[in-house]
Amino acid sequence: MNLVITVVGQDQVGIVARVSSILADHKGNIIDLSQRVMTGGLFTMIMQISLLDRERFAALEKALGELEGELNLKIMVQREDVFRFMHRV
């Protein structure tokens, strides 16, 4: 199952490392990653990942939700097919 994860918030040390670590813990493989720090220190990241075990989706979503609160970020996790449907032109 492919997922799209978006992360937005104030830039701080370790965001990419923490998100990547959670993905690895849940058997997620990063397919593509784009991140940027914008003017004013706004951090943005979008990742396309392959989740090798569909059964881990809920646990992954929960772990990223906990990180969201811990680092004061906005983290969205969507199945890629849903993301593409919602953002079609």
Model confidence band, residue 80 (pLDDT cutoffs 50, 70, 90): confident
What is the per-residue pLDDT for 41?
95
- Predicted local distance difference test score (pLDDT) of residue 37: 96
pLDDT of 89 higher than 60: no
If you ran DSSP here, which 8-state letter would residue 72 be given? T
Q: What is the pLDDT of residues 19-60, one digit of tens each?
A: 999 999 999 999 999 999 999 999 999 999 999 888 889 999
pTM of the model: 0.87
Distance CA 86, CA 8 (A): 19
Domains defined along the chain, listed by start:
2-86 (3.30.70.260)
User: What is the percentage of the chain residues whose pLDDT exceeds 90?
Assistant: 80
